[in-house]
Amino acid sequence: MKQVNDSRGGIIQHIITWFIVLFLLFLPFDYHFLPNIGHYTYPLLSDGVQFLKTHLLGIEDHRSVLPFSDSINLYIQTFLLVLLSVILGILSFFLDQKRQFGKYLWHWRSIGISYYLSLQLFKYGFNKVFKHQFYLPEPNILYTPLGQLSKDILYWSTIGSSYFYTVTAGLLELLPAILLLFRRTRLLGALLAAGIFVHILMINIGFGISVKLYSSFLLFLCILLIFPHLQRLYQFFVLHQSKIASSPSINRPFPTSKKQWWCYTISKALIIGLILFESLFLYFKTGNFNDDKAPRPFLHGAYAVQSFQQNGLIIPPLLTNQQRFKNVFFHRKDYFITQNMQDEFQDYQVRYDFHREELSLKKDQFSSVMVWTFDYSEEDSLLVLKGVLERDTLEVVAKRLEWERMSLVGG
């Protein structure tokens, strides 16, 4: 019976290991320095994803098979990876008759999981510390009625408005990132990381933020690190026993010579250095260590429309007029956004030609380019826009609003 249980446990360990490896290999994930392996591997499963989506779920969508975050494509891909992991796990277990691979499986898997979790916590931690993840709300968000904001935008904007909270949250993520890198503090790091990822998963579900599957995966990795220590944790925290069980017996390949010890030390230092380099690369490259203070592009901000002419006629600011602009905005990500009298928004991709004083607007990638001329007076903060927008000849005069002084962002 013990042999049967050992075999079942061994097969499960192989399946779990294969799933982790495959999930990470097939997940498109943008890094600043490290390669995005998933971008090249996900097409290998694209036919299977498309087949299941069409014939099993009845979803006819051939536009893209890229497994975006929390998309149906990603869930189907994960399902296929689970099936593939079961097959590979069973095969690898029975092919490894001498248990050479399985002997150190738990050890190397724990090392890999710890370093990967550390990388993600460093990335997201520094992202918060330097205010890149939860950035200051854009002017168009500040002038959107509260009830019109989606839950995810509302959450993002609220957190981004507080420098203290965002930086503190980032520092709390950096702590387990450091602890996970060392064997003696790894369990504490895993416990702290698990608490962080439980909180993140609750936020993602509660506010409809589209990284629910990935945050669940990170929490799963934390649980795998904690699982061997459950008995000790129960004895200490629940039973309050002074004498608790010893650490779980996990085979570890210890260095047996000075040369092996140096190889181990140098390899670990290089890996930690690579993790830190990837996590900090963007900030040293751009010199932006506080995104709240980063320079904004020309014309960035909110403008209240004072005069609006459509096809030569002056349109009064009546709430019943859907064509007249109430405000216009320039987003830092190169978007021009209009807000009409009924607080409906429309965004356009914008490009600047400062030499000709022209704005090139596109509603989407399939739309034709619309060219507006602009004139901006810094002395009285007046912006004049002239051009043809969606078949209407418009002339808009708008005055810059002091959105930076609003209560939410600095008033």
**Same structural domain for residues 274 and 322?**
no
Do 171 and 69 fall into the same domain?
yes
Element (H, E) at 19: helix 2-26
Task: Indicate whether 83 pLDDT > 90.
Answer: yes
**156-164 average pLDDT score:** 95
Lowest pLDDT segment from 33-37, 55-59, 116-120 = 55-59
- Render 332-391 in DSSP notation, one character per residue: TTTEEEEEETT--EEEEEEEEETTTTEEEEESSTTSPPEEEEEEEETTTTEEEEEEEETT
Choosing from 232, 252, 286, the residue where a domain stops is: 286
Which helix (DSSP H) or strand (DSSP E) does residue 251 occupy? none
pLDDT recorded at residue 222: 98
> Is pLDDT at 241 greater than 70 in this prediction?
yes
Q: Is the Cβ–Cβ distance between 296 and 332 less than 8 Å?
A: yes
The mean predicted confidence, pLDDT, of the chain is 90
Residue 33: the pLDDT is 87
**Residue 313 predicted with pLDDT over 90:** yes
Q: What is the mean pLDDT of residues 28-36?
A: 89
Q: How far apart are CA 153 and CA 138, in angstroms?
A: 11
Q: Does 127 fall in a domain?
A: yes
The full DSSP string for 98-149 is T-HHHHTHHHHHHHHHHHHHHHHHHHHHHHHHTTSSSPPPPHHHHTS-GGGS
Neighbour-count burial of 398, counting CB atoms closer than 10 A to its CB (0-12 exposed, 13-18 middle, 19+ buried): buried
The CATH number of the domain holding residue 399 is: 2.40.128.20
Task: For residues 310 and 303, give the distance between their C-alpha atoms in angstroms, rounded to a whole number.
Answer: 18
Q: Which residue has the higher pLDDT, 181 or 56?
A: 181
- The whole domain housing 111 covers 2-286
Strand, coil or helix: 155:
helix
Q: What distance in Å separates the CA atoms of residue 126 and residue 133, rounded to the nearest whole number?
A: 9
Please tell me whether residues 192 and 336 are part of one structural domain. Answer: no
The pLDDT, as a whole number, for residue 249 is 57
Higher pLDDT, 411 or 75: 75
Q: 308 in helix, strand or coil?
A: strand
Average pLDDT over residues 85-108: 80
pLDDT of res. 397? 96
4-13, 18-27, 38-47: range with highest mean pLDDT: 18-27
Instruction: Say yes or no: 40 and 175 in one domain.
Output: yes
Q: Tell whether 14 is covered by a domain.
A: yes
Residue type, 17: T
Mean pLDDT of all residues in 89-96: 88
Q: What is the pLDDT of residue 354?
A: 84
Q: At CA 362, angle to CA 359 and CA 365, rounded to 5?
A: 145
Contacts of residue 9, Cβ cutoff 8 Å, sequence gap at least 6 = none
Q: Assess if residue 202 is contained within a domain.
A: yes
**What pLDDT is stored for residue 112 in this prediction?**
95
Co-location of 240 and 113 in the same domain: yes
Mark whether 265 and 332 lie in a shared domain: no
User: Is residue 373 a part of any domain in this protein?
Assistant: yes
Q: For residue 389, what pLDDT is reported? A: 86
Looking at residue 54, its pLDDT comes to 87
Q: Does 1 have pLDDT greater than 60?
A: no
Q: What's the number of domains the chain is made of?
A: 2
Q: Give the residue from 108, 125, 118, 122 showing the smallest Cα distance to 21.
A: 108
Listed ranges 59-63, 108-112, 185-189, 227-231; the one with the highest mean pLDDT: 185-189
CA dihedral 133, 135, 141, 142 (to 10 degrees): 150
Q: What is the pLDDT of residue 48?
A: 92
Q: Are residues 279 and 305 both part of a single domain?
A: no
Same domain? For 113 and 262 the reply is yes
Tokens matching residue 129: 């510390």
- Are 163 and 220 part of one and the same domain? yes
> Does residue 294 belong to any structural domain of this protein?
no
Confidence at residue 338, expressed as pLDDT on a 0 to 100 scale: 96
Question: What's the average model confidence in pLDDT over 37-63?
Answer: 85
For the cut 80, the answer to whether the pLDDT of residue 253 exceeds it is no
Q: Give the pLDDT band (50/70/90) at residue 32.
A: confident
Reply yes or no on whether the pLDDT at 411 is more than 60: no
Q: List, for residues 183-199, the tens digit of each pLDDT value.
A: 999 999 999 999 999 99
Same domain, 158 and 244: yes
Within-domain flag for 292: no
Say if 295 falls within a structural domain. no
| pTM for the full predicted model | 0.91
Same domain, 345 and 273: no
What's the pLDDT score for residue 254?
Answer: 66
Indicate whether 2 pLDDT > 50: no
Say yes or no: 132 and 252 in one domain. yes
pLDDT above 90: percentage of residues in the chain: 67
Single residue among 286, 312, 338 that ends a domain in this structure: 286
The SS3 assignment for 407 reads coil
Cα–Cα distance between 339 and 348 in angstroms, integer?
Answer: 12
Q: Pick from 258, 286, 314: which residue ends a domain?
A: 286
State how far the Cα of 304 lies from the Cα of 169, in Å rounded to an integer.
36
Per-residue model confidence (pLDDT) at position 9: 76
Overall residue count recorded for the chain in this entry: 411
pLDDT at 50 over 70: yes
% of the chain beyond a pLDDT of 70: 93
Checking if the pLDDT of 288 tops 70, the result is: yes
- The secondary structure of the chain in percent helix, strand, coil, rounded to multiples of 5, reads 55, 15, 30
| Rounded CA separation 67/26 (Å) | 9
